[in-house]
Structure 1
Amino acid sequence: MRKWKKAGTIGLIAVMLCVSGAGCKKKATPERLFKDMAKNGETIESISGKMTANMEFAVEGQSVGMKMDFDLASVEKSEGFQMEGKLLMDIAGTEVSMDMSNYQVKEDDGLMSYTYVNNMWTKSPVESGEEETTLNAGMVEELTKQAKAFTLSEELVTVNGKECFELKGDIGGEFATDVLGEDMLDAFGMGGAVSEEELKELEIPCTITVYKKEILPASIFIDMKDVLMTAMEESGEMEIQELNLEMTFDEYNKVKEIKLPKEAKEEAIDADGSIDGLLGGEMGEDLEEDTEEEVEKEDTADVDETEKKGTVSWESLELNVSGKTVTLPCKVSELEAAGLKVDAEEVPADKMVKPGETEFPMLKDKNGNQVGVYCENTGDKDAKVSDCTLTGFYITSRDGEGIVDIALPGDVRLGMTEAELLEKYGEPREKSEDTKTGILTYSWDDELFTRSLGIEFDKDSKKIISIMIDIWDY
């Protein structure tokens, strides 16, 4: 499925936590829910739902309110998208209502966007990377990386008449920028007030609900009020009373086709823009970014196939732990035999784990260096942590602490350069980066991504600073 164009790289450690598929009777945790949503999202063919965005602010004592209320639908295979609703404005007590629609449909060899606003239909081609979608795997995957920031509410909530888990936390601004970035601010008439770079540095309150039965997103609510006020406090020109966005996902795999209204086809005139542009915002592609992507493709077009594949396979999951070979998945006791002991301060040595439950102990070597692991009792009786199945681990040197002696196949380890890694493992399935670090993600070549390897490197030194392995096909 499509990935978001600006996928972030916040919180590599969060993605180390693997979970089994939805439907197993296991204790719900934020990590498990996000992982299950990502897995179940691979089967999504279509979605219908709603989106609302609210903003209230005051400028020089004059109040302004804006609200967008839309019905949404999208079909994955055809890349069809439909949005219909209203824009409501209240300026100093004077209300204005505007009907708005947007359709994305395939025409000839590409996608065409049709927009209705100000009683007029316009159309424009959809550029690669700018496709509209109600929800995709990229959104859930990005949230998965920030799972540690969320807490699970004790009580279930109801969405669309169904029981749902509720998760609350502060998400990184880089994810929120993709949901409520410059384009949405343009739509509210605030383009340029806060840059996307500034948004990426912020932490934004977010509430997510998850359908208990399907383990798929029910709603996502993002509150931008406080962070936007902080970002704009120096200007003192505007007081924000409310700024939030909510997406509710009503039904999955029920919409079969997006049909373009007859009048849109007959009346639409060519236009350079979208809903945001027609509302006064400056829309357009980041040409420099697109150009860089094209150059990268050209640079790799003639790369030798051996270089792309690399000289060593990581998929055997044979680890060298202080000179001893351990193959994942394995029992925690196998790592203990290699000199890594369960840290009793994290998990008491005598603690028993119930069948199907998980633990997240830290293992220490003789020098006190640590590795974080994820293990599960896969048996049918209570078991000690040592007897649980280890299916994921995370090691890092980012904190300046000592490094556990663990090497992946091909002697890939912390401190190795990015170039050396690529020579051994070849090109990854995904690349992403922020201002300080980058992440290379490798996974088994299957549709379910049952095993994955994440490598985080420092952009300045070009050396590996974190390694994560995640397995859930055991």
Structure 2
Amino acid sequence: MKKIMRGLMVLVLLVGCMSGCGSSKEDAAEIIDEAIKELKKVESYNTNLKIILDMNMKSGGSTINGLFDADLSLDHLVKEEVAHVKGTMQIETMGVSESDKMEIYAFKEDGKYVQYSKSGEADSWSFEESKQMLAFNSVELLEAMKTADKLETDGSGEVDGKKTNVVEATVDGETIQKALDMMEDDEETASMMSMFSGSDFSEIDFVVKMQFYKDSGLPASLEMDFTSFSEEIMKSMNDSELYGDMDFEMSFEEFKITLTHSNYDKVKAIDVPEKFDVSSDDYSGNYEDGVDNPKGDWNRFEFTYQGKNYKLPLSYSDLEAMGFTVSEDTLKNTTVAAKGSEYWVEATNDKKQTIILSFYNESDSKKKLAECKISSIQIDDDISADIDLELPGGIRLGKTEAELNKAYPEFSNKYTSDVHRSYSYYGDLDKDERLNIEINEEGKISLIIYERQ
């Protein structure tokens, strides 16, 4: 949840940083000036935040649709510097939909801005320090909008039944690039923005639509439609040196963020809990360190399938011998970029059992899928049920945690949460030797990832 919220804050910050030196229409600037003057008087307000991201990713012959939908409500006591966020997030992909509640308290504690957040029915909270107060309605944002490369009025509108003045701010590609450069000062944000490395933003424009209540002059809404913007970014990334060899296409049906402001000076109090039960990590679980290079048969990187022995890394002929096939279109049209690149593919047998494979290219040139090594194999309860695949020591899907610990008594680390446990085993890191096993609520092995390059 924190990563999603962090991503949202990056987008809002990006818009806030988009200040250029272009001219602006006087009447549009006057509307924003009036809003700034009135907003400085405000003691509290509510913001409704809606996010919709509907996208498709095509790789080889497969297309996967992903949908992210969030509906959040933020109450903010401005002078007290206290905010409370509550709402729901929904993620849908490959026909599976998951919905989760989320909640955040943000305030000043011992002179520092802090945030406590949790999702779902978790009893414990995640803690994070922040450089600024969590707020989606600020004077700073409006001041940044005033200096956009192009600023103009766009008639009248309506928000929550109230008449509004509409202002559009347009930012050009040069300003976007400057904003990204400015954000590199924040280590965590810079890490997230590194995906844009090598991209050309010179032909990209971005439009922010703002509405202001006519009766009070205060901000009514801010709408950021990232759909075309994101399409242009993906095109730029695909043309860049860093991403040019990647065999995938991404398209956006809709990517929109809307902030609607209301209840000015009507939020009277926010009941902040006296004490937060903080989890030991962001995932409301506990890690237990094991040993380096744990001993045991797990590091033979061998397995049996239907009574026959195989060893990682596999060749494509090994996969065929096992009776698994990759779609003809994927096999024909997919290439794996050079210098240690990986490509994840599903393969299916005649029993409709599916395994997930990583094709690894260690050469200095691109290769067809079938020419690469298969460095990793993944099986799980959902797609590989009843598969006759067994690791050394008799470990397979459905075995108990006790049987796992007996076969592999040493591990690199163990993660325990309220709903599942996972074990990790690491060998020679230069060869990316690892085994990951998850235990479900019933105490049985539900997922296995076995890898060696």
Structure 1-normalised TM-score?
0.46
Larger Rg: 2
Q: Provide TM-score, normalisation by structure 2.
A: 0.48
